[in-house]
Amino acid sequence: MQLLEDARRHVREGLDKGVTCPCCGQLAKRYRRWIHAEVAIFLIKLVKAYRKDPRYYHAKELIDAKGKHSTDASYTQHWGLVTKANAEADGRKGGFYKPTQRGIDFVLGRIAVPAHAVIYDNRVEEWATNNVSIRDSLGKKFKYEELMVES
């Protein structure tokens, strides 16, 4: 039992930098995920699409002109901003999302959310103490009003 406790301690101590588990060989790492501009743009596109046609959208349906989409989209479920489709129940592959009311409120500027979450093993261990709005998340490079124009 002591060997297992030693392995657990070794993993816990190395989570911030990343550590290989001595038991299974997998990388274990704690990640800090932010509500950054790419995530904010994904949420804006998702909310705009959903308001026109309420359904689950695949992240690739929301790709910008350069062919980019946020790879952090799945993390927004931790903030309660999106609901992820149950791929097994729906018979589809993953990556399908719809906004929650909280996500809609965030995109419309009605609420702010924690700026980041510290995530390990797909669970939030810690929230940022500061909140950000959709405009904060977009930064200075993107104009909220331009992104919100209906196409």
Domain boundaries, the chain: 36-113+129-148
What is the edge-to-edge ordering of all strands in the sheet holding 116-120?
31-34, 116-120, 123-127
pLDDT tens string for the chain (151 positions)? 578 888 888 878 777 787 888 888 888 778 888 999 989 999 999 999 999 999 999 888 887 656 555 567 788 999 999 998 876 555 556 788 999 999 999 999 999 999 999 998 889 999 999 999 999 999 988 888 888 887 5
Beta-bridge partners for 19 = 28
- What is the CATH number assigned to the segment(s) 36-113+129-148? 1.10.10
Residue 111 to residue 137: CA distance in whole angstroms:
12
Query: So what's the pLDDT on residue 114?
Result: 97
pTM of the entire structure? 0.81
Residue 53: what are its φ and ψ, rounded to 5°? Answer: -145, 95
